[in-house]
Structure formats: C-alpha cells, structure tokens
C-alpha cells in the first residue's frame, strides 16, 4: 500500500498516511466540497488495517483550525476505526492539537476522546 499525501488547500487539510510507519497526520482547515470523497483514501487504509487485524502502533496527529459538520462526521468515523483497531490489540496514540485560547477546538478533541474511549494527548500550541 502506497503512502498518501495531500497538500493543504484553503478548503482541505494537509493529509498524510504512511502505511509503512502507521502514521496519520491531518493539519489545517477541513471544509471540502465532498468530505467523504476527500477522506476515502484514509478510510480505505484504516479498513485494510482492520481487516489485517494489525497489532502495530498507530500514531495519529490531528491539528485542525476549523472543520465543518460533514468533516466532523468523517473525523468521528476515523476515530471509530482507530477505536476498532485499539480493541483488536493495536496501540493507538492520538495527539489532538489546538491553538491556545481556542476552547471550541479543545472541547471538540475532548468530546471525540470521550466518544471513542481512547485517551488523547491534548496539546495546546501557539497560533
């Protein structure tokens, strides 16, 4: 499986998934025209890891400055797939980064953490 990497645009975040190192990075604004289509390559890799019952360490770093409702649903779907991998025995490390004083983004990370039951590393960063 090939590494995927999409550069950030005004409407889409930087997205990188490296199947070799089991690393996921999402960084920027997520308001794509077709959210499901944008995140499908990531979903496909996660589904493959689930099917393979990988027990590897998976590292996800999320730093979003803004996301819309449809992105929120896709992000939740990503976390649910990571939750399934975690339940199957994989070590899942999730870092949720948010800008200092952005309480909404901090709370979004806390909400996702509560929903999926995986402890996130919450990191406050300078703007």
pLDDT tens digits for range 63-75: 999 999 999 999 9
What is the C-alpha to C-alpha distance for residues 53 and 90, in angstroms, rounded to an integer? Answer: 8
Question: Tens digit of pLDDT for each residue in 1-57?
Answer: 789 999 999 999 999 999 999 999 999 999 999 999 999 999 999 999 999 999 999
The confidence score (pLDDT) of residue 32 equals 96
Domain that holds residue 27: 4-125
The candidate with the shortest Cα–Cα distance to 4, out of 21, 70, 28, is 21
The candidate with the shortest Cα–Cα distance to 72, out of 22, 109, 101, is 109
Q: Would you place residue 96 in the very low, low, confident or very high pLDDT band (cuts 50, 70, 90)?
A: very high
Q: Would you place residue 127 in the very low, low, confident or very high pLDDT band (cuts 50, 70, 90)?
A: confident
Q: Count up the domains in the chain and report the number.
A: 1
The candidate with the shortest Cα–Cα distance to 85, out of 48, 115, 110, is 48
What is the C-alpha to C-alpha distance for residues 14 and 24, in angstroms, rounded to an integer? Answer: 10
Residue 37: give its domain's CATH number: 3.30.750
Structure tokens at 125: 């960063």
122, 109 Cβ separation under 8 angstroms: yes
Q: Is the dihedral of CA 68, 71, 73, 78 positive or negative?
A: negative
30, 75 Cβ separation under 8 angstroms: yes
73, 31 Cβ separation under 8 angstroms: no
């Amino acid at each position: 499986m090939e590494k995927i990497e999409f550069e950030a645009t005004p409407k889409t975040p930087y997205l990188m998934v490296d199947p070799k190192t089991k690393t996921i990075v999402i960084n920027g604004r997520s308001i794509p025209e077709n959210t499901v289509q944008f995140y499908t390559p990531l979903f496909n890799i996660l589904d493959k890891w689930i099917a393979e019952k990988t027990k590897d360490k998976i590292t996800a770093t999320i730093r979003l400055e803004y996301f819309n409702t449809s992105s929120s649903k896709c992000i939740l779907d990503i976390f649910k797939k990571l939750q399934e991998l975690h339940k199957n025995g994989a070590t899942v490390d999730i870092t949720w980064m948010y800008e200092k004083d952005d309480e909404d983004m901090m709370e979004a990370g806390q909400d996702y953490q509560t929903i999926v039951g995986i402890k996130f590393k919450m990191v406050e960063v300078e703007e």
